[in-house]
Structures are given as structure tokens and as C-alpha cells.
Amino acid sequence: MVAKIYTHLLLFWSYHMSDGIFTLDAEIRTDLGKGASRRLRHAGKVPAVLYGAGKEAVSLTLNHNKLFQAQGFEAFYSHVLTLNIGKEKVEVLVKDMQRHAFKPVVMHLDFLRVDAKVALQTNVPLHFINEEKAESIKLNGGHAEHHMVDVEVSCLPGDLPEYIEVDLINVELDQTIHLTDLVLPKGVSLVELNKGDDNHDLAVVTVKLSKGPKVEDEDAAEGDAAAEAAPAE
């Protein structure tokens, strides 16, 4: 019974998260300029621009509160979004976002139109898994040194992954995972590797021996020091 309720809650949450994060309402704006943008922000709106796919750029406005809630999710930046502009639904990617220097405010957005039949290039985050379970880290005193946190991929919009996993479970000390070691979803390639040169097989993560003695060694050293300091009987 509990499992069934959990499943229903998960489906409910997934549906509303998808609707709230990946679908946004936008309006075309004609009042342009810094003064107009300032007035929009005071009214709880965010100025944006939509471009790409061989069409003219269009200036837009979006509701700040809904946008700010959506942009708090990692998937917002690596997922094809739908903009409802009047009666038109436009599929886009977030290409740039400007934030206020110290306030929790989104200042401006750049959206890129995508074509379902045309491959796109964009960055997706890397998720490092089993880091704490890896024997080289858990038992042998190693630590993971991350060389990158995302990768640029090329694929059709329908094949775009929200993230790519990097499994560290079997990585040994002084071993490095490179781009060619990543397991990619079907239809996805890495832009860097598409350049066709071994020099572009960049390091993703390396497990190195942590500096300093292990905890057991420190305890042993303290015990030896105490023994040396104790007066002879």
C-alpha cells in the first residue's frame, strides 16, 4: 500500500515538475531598451530574446517567479524547453542567463530555437556516482580530482540527455577516466572527440592518493610520541 502511494506521488510530482520546469509562458515585447527592461523587472517580469533556426530574433518577457523556480533545477539547463508564445509552442534551449550580482534575481535570458530534425550542440552536466563506494577512495586513501563538471554533446533534440553518469566504482589509484571512457546514450556524441584527434581525449576525473597520513597512522604516531615523552620508570 505504501509503495503504491509512493508511486502515485512520484508520478504526480514528475508530471507537475515537468510541466513547471520544462514549459514556460512567454509574451512578445515591443517596448525595448534599458528603461523598458527596468520597468519589466519592477513588474516581476524577465526580459529575454529568442533566436536561431534561421529566423529573426524575437524579444520576449516571462514571469520571474515561475522562471526562478524552474531555473533552480539542474535539468532546466540541459533539457529542451517549450515556450508558449501566444498560440505557438516553440522548443528551445537556454543558451545564456544573466543574474543579479547579489540578489536572487534573473536579469535576462537567451533562448535558442531547436529543430527536431537538426542536431544541436550544448553542454550537459556530469554526475559522478559511487565515489564513496570506490575501494580506491574508501579503503586506500584516495580522492577524486574532477577535471570537468560538464561536457559538450552533439545530438538530435529528442536524444538530449539531462546528464551523463561517470561511475567511479572500479577506478584505481592514479587512474584517470577520459572522455573516451564515458558511456554515452544512443545517438549522442561528444563534440571534443568529434574533432578526431587523440589530443582531444581530455581527462574527466582522476583518483589520487590523498596527502597526509591515514587516520590510523596519525593515531599510531601520537601513541609513539606519547610513549617517548613518558618518563622512564
Query: Which amino acid would we find at residue 54?
Result: G
For the chain, list the domains and their CATH numbers: 2-113 (2.40.240.10), 120-211 (2.170.120.20)
Give 85-122 pLDDT, tens digit per residue: 999 999 999 999 999 999 899 999 999 999 999 999 99
Closest among 226, 39, 212, 54 to 142, alpha carbons compared: 212
Q: Is the pLDDT score of 52 beyond 60?
A: yes
Closest among 117, 105, 109 to 58, alpha carbons compared: 109
Alpha-carbon gap, residue 104 to 98, rounded angstroms: 11
Alpha-carbon gap, residue 195 to 192, rounded angstroms: 6
pLDDT at 43: 85
69-78 burial: b if 16+ Cβ within 10 Å, else e: ebbeeebbbb
Give 139-175 pLDDT, tens digit per residue: 999 999 999 999 999 999 999 999 999 999 999 999 9
- Using pLDDT thresholds of 50, 70 and 90, give the confidence band for residue 55: very high
- Using pLDDT thresholds of 50, 70 and 90, give the confidence band for residue 37: confident
Q: What is the DSSP letter of 137?
A: H
Closest among 84, 94, 110, 79 to 23, alpha carbons compared: 84
Q: Which residues pair with 88 in a beta bridge?
A: 85
pLDDT at 110: 96
